[in-house]
Amino acid sequence: MPACPCPGNLAHILLLNSRLRRTWGVKFFYPRQHTVTREVWCGGVGLHTGADVTIRLKPAPPDFGIRFQRTDLTGKPVITAHYRQVVDTFQATTIGIAGAVVGTVEHLMAAFYGCGVDNVLVEVDGPEIPILDGSAAPYTGLIRKAGVREQDAVRRCLIVDRPMVVKEDGAYIRVTPSDHFRIDCAIDFPHPLVGKQRYSWSFCENSFKREIAKARTFGFLKDVRKLQTMGRAQGGSLANAIVLDECGLLNREGFRYADECVRHKLLDFMGDLALIGMPVVGAFHVHRAGHSLHSRFLKQLMTRPGTCSLAQPSCIPTGVFPASRLPAFAGQISSVAKPI
C-alpha cells in the first residue's frame, strides 16, 4: 500500500520549493498516480435492489480514472465515476449513462479515495455495488489484497481558492481554503442513541482505515419499512446495516464506534466527493447533508468561477524528504495554479 499521505503545511512547502528551485538540480519528486496491482473480485447483495452482484477490480492505465462496466448488459457499457454522471441520489448515489446505471457507489469510491487509488476498472454484473457489511472496510481490504502500485504519471490535485456554501432545508455544506484535506461533519437525529453528533477528521490513509472505513450505514426501523414498500432496501439486514427502533439498537453487537453514525455520514460525503476525479485540498464543513445536497454541492464547486483551481506538481528534489513525509494530496503543489 502507498505510504500514509499525512497532511502538511502548504505555505511552508511552497516557500521551501521556491528556495529549492534556486539551489538544487533538475531531479525532482512528483506525486504519482496509482492503480491496483492485480485483479481481485468479491460478491454480495445490493442494499436497495436485493440483487446478487459480483464486482471485479482491474488495473487501469494512467489518467483512466475510476470507471464502472456493466458486464451483464448488451455492449457492456462503461460509466465514468464522475459527478456529472450522477442520475439518482435517493438513499444512495447512482451513476449512469444512456440507461445503464450502477447504484450505491459511495462506499467503494470512499475506499478508492482513502487508499490513494486513482485508476481502476470496476466490472459489475448487476445494477448496484454490493453493500457487504455496510461500511467501506471490506473494500479497503479488497484493495489491500489487490495491492497498489505507482504509475509513471503525475497525480493532479484540486485546490479550493475561495469559500463557498450550499444550503438546503437546514442542511449545508461549506468549504474554505486550507493547507490540507479535512472534513468536519455533523448530524442531528431525534433518537436517544444518535441525537447530535460531530466528528472532525484530517486525511491520512491509516486513519481512514482505522477511524472512518469501518463505520456502517444506518437507518431507522420505521423508515426501513417504508422504503421496502417503495421497492427500496430490498437487500437490507442487520448483517449490512445499523438498524434502530424507537428507543434502541437492534444489532446485538452494538456500535463499532460510539459516534458511528456521524462517521458513516462523513464516509458517504467522502465517497461522493471522490466523483470529482482527483484529490482535493480544502476544509469541508458538512451539516445534516445527504447525497442530494452532496451532488448539488459538487456541481457548484466545479462550475462557480474562481472557487477552485487545478494545481500543478511542485519541484521538490528527490531525497530532500522521504516520500512518506510528503503529503501526497496537499504537498506537491506549485505556487501558480491554472483555473479549471
Contact 146, 22 (CB under 8 A): no
**Cell 479515495 found at:** 113
Catalytic position from the list 48, 180, 291, 294: 291
Query: How far is the C-alpha of 113 from the C-alpha of 119, rounded, in Å?
Result: 11
Nearest-10 crossing angle of helices 137-146, 106-115: 50
Neighbours of 66 (CB within 10 A): 24
Q: Is 330 exposed, middle or buried (0-12, 13-18, 19+ CB in 10 A)?
A: buried
- CA angle 19-21-23, nearest 5°? 70
Query: How far is the C-alpha of 205 from the C-alpha of 99, rounded, in Å?
Result: 35
From residue 90, give the alpha-carbon distance in Å to each of 52, 218, 230, 241, 291.
21, 15, 12, 17, 7
Q: Please name every residue paired with 129 in a beta bridge, in sequence order, or none if there are none.
A: none
- Annotated binding residue 272: no
Query: How far is the C-alpha of 53 from the C-alpha of 44, rounded, in Å?
Result: 6
**Looking at this protein, which amino acid is placed at residue 150?**
E
291 a catalytic residue: yes
- Annotated binding residue 82: no
| 243 contact partners, CB below 8 Å, separation of at least 6 | 218, 219, 220, 221, 224, 236, 249, 250, 251
- Annotated binding residue 107: yes
Query: How far is the C-alpha of 197 from the C-alpha of 185, rounded, in Å?
Result: 8
Contact 248, 242 (CB under 8 A): no
Annotated binding residues for Zn(2+), as ranges?
107, 264, 268
Instruction: List, by residue number, the catalytic residues.
Output: 291
